[in-house]
Amino acid sequence: MRGRASSPGGHPFIFFNTVYVWPKLLAATFCLIQYVYLGLPEKEDRPTYFPIVVSGIAAGLAVMSHGSAAIAVLAIYLVALSKGFRAHWFHAALSGSVSAVVAIPWLVWSKTVAPTINPLPRFLLTADFGFSEKAPRGVLQSAIQMYGNMPLSTWLQAKLVALKTLAGFDLSIARMALAPFKDPSLGFESVRAYQFFFLVPSLGLLLIPLAWILLRRRATKVADPGRWLFIRHFACAVILTFLLQFAVMMAPHLLHHYPCFVPLGLHLLAVLVILASNSRLLRAVACANYILFVFYWIALILARNPVESMGGIVCALVLLTGATFVIARWALGRSPIASS
């Protein structure tokens, strides 16, 4: 395979989550490390169980970073038990044991030394932080009581609203946040609002390579079995995480409420498909995605807002110039970065 640039295009989700680092993105990064090291092949220059231990440590740190990461951690271990994954069931059990050793002391400390009502996991499962209660119940107790009093029709209606929210069709919850944009459906600036608040719009043109991998999965498997195996299992981990958290999450399914492993995984999966495909169409999609990102998230902001830090603007433009040069060389097939 010819040389590639490391990232074929700009991504709003990655952009604003690296400028404003959130614990959920940190947790998602640890989940990604958990997945990668759990599936690493054995090598003579590396201890047999070293990657497994690293995977377990990463899983424990993910849960410590944000409680919602437990869903992704569980999904990754379930995928690791599937047929064809490099890890053996014992590797998954060992990694899980290491993650428990890492996380349990912190859980005990948070329950005894600095007890809290765990508002974030509670909000994820029940859409209620619990601050209004004089004697707040535990997260599990609150969730059980909520589901015990919830008819199936109410749950199904909530999931329908969740699907509309993920797609960016339901503005009832986000309308107050979108108020500065006047009409959420008009104007260039509303594009940034949609990409900030909603999962599907945040992917932008990267939806095309995600659809491509579904339509061309057999061709990809024949052309490059190793990369296809990695992409397939990684896609399974992302999809299973999405299904699990979609089923239990009662908080609004806005992107900034959403556990970040799913959006990070979808973005990374799209990039992997673009890099592995060697398709001119997907190269063009990556370039168009980058151009739109620069226009909406950099050029439009600079044109419509006063410059407060000239040094920051200069640094941003230098980085933008370098990124544009790398993307252009990759698009033309002249990138000096050789893929493995």
Torsion sign over Cα 20, 22, 24, 26: positive
Q: Compute how many other C-beta atoms are within 10 angstroms of the C-beta atom of residue 296.
A: 18
Instruction: Say if residues 316 and 307 touch (Cβ distance below 8 Å).
Output: no
| pLDDT > 70 in the chain, percent | 70
User: What ranges make up the beta strands (E) of the chain?
Assistant: none
- Average pLDDT over every residue of 293-309: 72
Decide if 337 is inside a domain: no
Answer yes or no: is 239 within a domain: yes
pLDDT digits (tens, 9 = 90+) for 159-215: 999 999 898 887 776 666 555 555 545 566 677 778 888 888 888 888 888 888 877
Contact status, residue 258 vs residue 97, Cβ threshold 8 Å: no
pLDDT digits (tens, 9 = 90+) for 110-162: 777 766 667 777 888 888 877 666 666 777 788 888 888 889 899 999 999 99
Whole-number pLDDT of residue 23: 82
Tokens standing for residue 252: 């609004």
- Give a yes or no: residue 57 inside a domain: yes
Residue 137 maps to a domain: no
> In this structure, is residue 138 part of a structural domain?
no
Tell me the pLDDT of the chain averaged across its residues: 78
Percent of the chain residues topping a pLDDT of 90: 18
247 lies in some domain: yes
> Which of the pair, 1 or 136, is modelled with greater confidence?
136
Q: Residue 282: which residues within 8 A CB-CB, separation 6 or more?
A: 208, 209, 212, 273, 274
Question: What pLDDT score was predicted for residue 339?
Answer: 43
Task: Give the residue numbers spanning the domain of 19.
Answer: 12-115+150-331
Residue 140 lies in a domain: no
* 49-82 as b/e: b if 16+ CB within 10 A: bebbebbbbbbbbbbbbbbbbbbbbebbbebbee
Determine, yes or no, domain membership for 268: yes
Q: What is the pLDDT at residue 20?
A: 62
Quote the pTM value.
Answer: 0.80
**CA pair distance 22, 20, nearest whole angstrom:** 6
Q: What's the structural domain count of the chain? A: 1
pLDDT digits (tens, 9 = 90+) for 94-115: 999 999 999 999 888 877 776 6
SS3 83: coil
pLDDT in tens, 24-77: 888 999 999 999 988 776 555 555 788 899 999 999 999 998 888 999 999 999
